[in-house]
A = this chain, B = another copy of it.
Amino acid sequence: MRHQTGRRRRQPSESSNGSLASRRSSFAQNGNSSRKSSELRGPCEKVVHTAQDSLFSTSSGWTNFRGFFNLSILLLVLSNGRVALENVIKYGILITPLQWMSTFVEHNYSIWSWPNLALILCSNIQIVLVLGVEKVLERGWLGNAFAAVFYTVLVIVHLTIPVVVTLTHTWKNPLWSVGMMGVYVIEALKFISYGHVNYWARDARRKITELKTQVTDLAKKTCDPKQFWDLKDELSMHQMAAAYPSNLSFSNIYYFMAAPTLCYEFKFPRTLRIRKHFLIKRTVELIFLSFLIAALVQQWVVPTVRNSMKPLSEMEYSRCLERLLKLAIPNHLIWLLFFYTFFHSFLNLVAELLRFADREFYRDFWNSETISYFWKSWNIPVHRFAVRHIYSPMMRNNFTKMSAFFVVFFVSAFFHEYLVSVPLKMFRLWSYYGMMGQIPLSYITDKIVRGGRTGNIIVWLSLIVGQPLAILMYGHDWYILNFGVPSATNQTVII
């Protein structure tokens, strides 16, 4: 983003040369100008004062305050740089990259000592099973009723396996479980999309045989343009039906399982080649930013959360607020880094490797003026899935907009809670409430504030404050669950 110099650069009023010639020409210019106040002009100087407004007065019409943007960025860097320096003076360096490495190395070289990786490998069974069932359904040996029951059971079982394994095992670092469960959630959503689209294709094939005679009958009776549209509709159905069973192959389903999307299509747009430069850049970003995130968490977030436990259980409100704000800045920075690392670096890396051409993994969520635009733009794979496989089917089945909206947020809230509560082995519903709280907040920004800059600020504020609030809640409860009440003098009731 290049800083444009759209400034009103006035010519400095010193005449660079005091010789008579230059003064003459400046007088000649003044003679042409229509300044009224130039009547009284000294022989050595141009007129100094002219009637004009100050730039901060709205009447001046001045709008270029671009330099203040640089200032705010600079103050942000300096003020948080100071807090970071204070942190290092207080705690020293807490980052331990060698220890991170050792978590990979210290295990035995048996796959079962890495239960999370084993679980991910096991999920191939479900993938193959889905492909097999789709083959059976295609041949018409079993009906759509069976398909509905099969997919429901499959998804429930698929989401239950990691819960059972996680809750029965004991391991120190819940991060690996979060990663594994994330993969399982993604797979579950992909299964739903895969089954849904194949169902549409079968439906299209069936309708075509039904309608083929109907269309010829109608064409005989009328020449209504509506019939022409129906024909176009059937044509599209026809294309789908024609492509149909050929998509049911190992390579097709595995490409979909690996692709950075949750919406199944028979054929994805592809790029012509893998760009090596692009690949290298994204890989370097991925590695560097992952390390940076881990370092920031260890150095900045962990001590802050730990120091928040006492004020939080003693319910000192001003201290709690101070802790919340202290956590909010690094947390938000980490969230932004995470967003870039995952949605830009990682998904683009995967897409480049698979020559997957649709790179719209996010839209301009940073400009969101309403909460609903934020949820429509920050995570496009999930947004597309929700629209295509939850919202639109509900609309087609005559549910109200409001109820479809509610169901989408409910499903999202469920998965948020699922990914947090199970690895922490602690069911508190803070994430769930956080997600469900988006619905009234969305009403405020959409209907009351009606977007604009205020809307944008509310969106950012909900992100900056909402997340650390949830982290403090979970951190506090987790701490008490694992280490007991921090202050013996002050017993707090944990709900």
Which A residues contact B (CB, under 8 angstroms)? 1-3, 5, 7-10, 12-18, 23-24, 27-28, 31, 37, 39-45, 47-57, 62-76, 78-83, 85-86, 88-89, 197, 200-201, 203-204, 207, 226, 229-230, 232-233, 236-237, 239-240, 243, 261, 263, 265-269, 271, 318-319, 321-322, 325-326, 328-329, 332, 340, 343-344, 347-348, 357-369, 373, 376, 384, 387-388, 391-392, 395-398, 401, 451-453, 456-457, 460-461, 464
Contacts and interface: CB of A to CB of B under 8 A. Distances in A.
14 contacts: A5-B451, A5-B452, A24-B230, A24-B232, A40-B265, A40-B266, A41-B239, A48-B265, A49-B269, A52-B360, A54-B347, A76-B79, A82-B326, A85-B325
A345 to B, nearest CB: 9
Contact of A388 (B48, B265, B364): B48
Contact of A28 (B232, B358, B366): B232
Contacts of A263: 48-49
Nearest to A47: B265
A360 B72 CA distance: 25
A16 to B, nearest CB: 7
Contact of A74 (B50, B75, B464): B464
A54 B344 CA distance: 7
Contact of A369 (B5, B23, B391, B457): B5
B74 A461 contact: yes
Contacts of A369: 5
Nearest to A23: B233
Given A79-B76, A325-B78, A71 B366 contact: yes
Contacts of A57: 344, 348, 359
Contacts of A271: 51
B240 A41 contact: yes
Contacts of A39: 239
B453 A70 contact: yes
Kindly list the 10 A-B residue pairs having the minimum CB-CB distance in the complex, ordered from nearest.
A18-B396, A67-B366, A51-B357, A82-B325, A3-B453, A49-B358, A67-B367, A18-B395, A51-B269, A43-B237
Given A76-B76, A344-B56, A464-B74, A366 B68 contact: yes
Contacts of A361: 54
A86 B322 contact: yes
B76 A376 contact: no
A387 B14 contact: yes
A261 B358 contact: no
A394 to B, nearest CB: 8
Contacts of A365: 67
A139 B296 CA distance: 79
Nearest to A36: B269
Secondary structure of the A contact surface, majority rule: helix
Contacts of A398: 18
B396 A319 contact: no
A410 to B, nearest CB: 17
A207 B70 contact: no
A306 to B, nearest CB: 17
A388 B45 contact: yes
A71 to B, nearest CB: 5
B79 A329 contact: yes
B27 A229 contact: yes
A63 B67 CA distance: 18
Nearest to A358: B49
A195 to B, nearest CB: 13
Contacts of A54: 343-344, 347-348, 359-362
Given A28-B232, A43-B207, A363-B10, A269 B71 contact: no
A411 to B, nearest CB: 15
A79 B78 contact: no
A386 B466 CA distance: 54
A160 B204 CA distance: 98
A460 B62 contact: no
Nearest to A278: B57
A41 B387 CA distance: 16
Contacts of A328: 78, 82
B27 A233 contact: yes
A358 B50 contact: yes
Contacts of A7: 364, 367
A392 B397 CA distance: 82
Contacts of A49: 261, 263, 265, 268-269, 357-358
Contacts of A40: 239-240, 243, 265-267
A83 B74 contact: no
A358 B79 contact: no
A200 B48 CA distance: 15
